[in-house]
Amino acid sequence: MARSHLTLAALATSAVPGLDVVQARKHSQGAHGLFDSALIIGSDGKQLIIRVPVSQSAETEQSADLVALRALTVGNRSRLPFDVPEFVGQAPAGNTRAVVYELLTGDSFDADALTGHVGVSGSIGRAIAAIHSLPTSFVAEAGIAQHSAQDCRTSTIDLIDRAAATGHLPAALLRRWELATDDDALWQFQPTVIHGSLTADSLLISDDAVSGVLGWSELAVGDPAQDLTWLLAARGEASETALAAYNQARQGSDHRIAQRAMLYAELELARWLLHGTDTKDQTIIDDAIDMLDGLVDTVHSHTTHPLNPTTGPALEVSDIEAILAQTPRTAVTHEPKGSMHTDSYEVSDVDDSRFIPSDFSDSEFAPRDPAETAAYTDADLRDALGDAGAGAGAGADTAARTDDQASRRSSSE
């Protein structure tokens, strides 16, 4: 049974010494199935969010998020043009723990709205670039996962091989993706600090600028293309502005990043298929097959244009984010200390190395010969988005996945 906002308020007073609660109310954002959550207002006017995980996977995510927030020290945060959630306190809550964060100001919007405004889009590009410009040393010091370009390439090949082994991967897509992994030039990039699970839901907007970034549980060093996948799928007219602002801030240091992000988006369908086969859920398997077939149709319908880095993948951003929400992203190699069987533990007790972000599908997409691998233009792709969504059971199944995406909202929501 879900904990009431009054129960959560009582837990908050245990977690934060001296807290005098004057108001508490249910906080639904970010709590769809993963957390019991409430907004707490203290007598000093401070607004806090308290969250209690309701499953082992939610607790693992929360623990990883705390490791990342701990690593993002004052010095690191000062390099970012936005706020990051602040850990305030914790308290035992049955077999798990309640964690309290400061509430970040700002509003949430979907990806198309975020990329529909030039000013906001530019701020998004610069915000992502700021994350990627952080020094990688602090990630190593925190014991958080680091992946080389070759690691990213190898894990991508493994992902494709596993998807092919299901027998459900169309030959045209297998060929298309293998061409990408065979192209050495696609993997000549410098790994950076990455958010790791960035979507529109991760961003808070105030005064037409990014004011906060949430959900840091998959912080790592890896392929920066991973953080751009959702952006390239957005339909807003100013989506290209975000990418241009990003490239300008990063001084164009990674010329193939958009192409790798596009491939990564397509490979989310492979992840979705594997999730279905791993869980033996035929509904998910059928959904993935339909979406893969839709992607094949798009690829083979448009063969006259080389793949353009400014185009998006043949998926609607809501499809990508919904799949990201449903598909397990974090591989835990050991039982974390903060398991549901432990009453509580301090943030300093977390073994950082136990939270290993998912393997990467970070490659670029530049066929050796345009005739070998079909491609498509921006307009073609956007026309195909509806086909991919419709063919994937866009009704109840997609709605359910979209609802669950909200549950991945960040630690301060």
C-alpha span between 281 and 59 (Å, rounded): 24
Domain boundaries, the chain: 5-102, 111-406
C-alpha span between 300 and 400 (Å, rounded): 30
**Helices marked H in 236-340:** 239-249, 257-279, 282-301, 317-326
CA trace torsion 401, 406, 407, 408 (10° rounding): 100
Total residues found in the chain within this entry: 413
254-265: burial string, b at 16+ Cβ within 10 Å, e else: bebbbbbbbbbb
C-alpha span between 33 and 29 (Å, rounded): 11
Whether the Cβ atoms of residue 312 and residue 380 lie closer than 8 Å to each other: no
Instruction: Give the per-residue pLDDT at 328.
Output: 55
Instruction: Give the per-residue pLDDT at 235.
Output: 80
Read off the tokens for 191: 């790994």
User: What is 88-118 written as a DSSP string?
Assistant: EEEEEETTEEEEEEEPPP-B---HHHHTTSH
- Per-residue pLDDT tens for 227-270? 999 888 788 888 889 999 999 999 978 889 999 998 998 999 99
Read off the tokens for 97: 């723990």
C-alpha span between 383 and 113 (Å, rounded): 18
Fold classification of 111-406 (topology level)? Aminoglycoside 3'-phosphotransferase; Chain: A, domain 2 (3.90.1200)
Long-range contacts of 92-95 (CB under 8 A, 24+ apart): 92/14, 92/343, 92/344, 93/3, 93/11, 93/52, 95/340, 95/341, 95/342, 95/343
Instruction: Give the per-residue pLDDT at 300.
Output: 63
Q: Say what the pTM is.
A: 0.73
What stretches in the chain show pLDDT beneath 70?
A: 28-33, 299-413
Instruction: Give the per-residue pLDDT at 341.
Output: 31
Q: Which of 218, 221, 201 is nearest to 210 (CA)?
A: 201
C-alpha span between 323 and 392 (Å, rounded): 11
Instruction: Give the per-residue pLDDT at 370.
Output: 31
CATH superfamily label, 5-102: Phosphorylase Kinase; domain 1 (3.30.200.20)
User: How far is Cα of residue 131 from the mean position of the Cα atoms in its chain?
Assistant: 14
Instruction: Give the per-residue pLDDT at 3.
Output: 87
Residues 6+ apart with CB under 8 A from 406: 29, 30, 32, 201, 325
What H or E segment, with its residue span, contains residue 32?
none
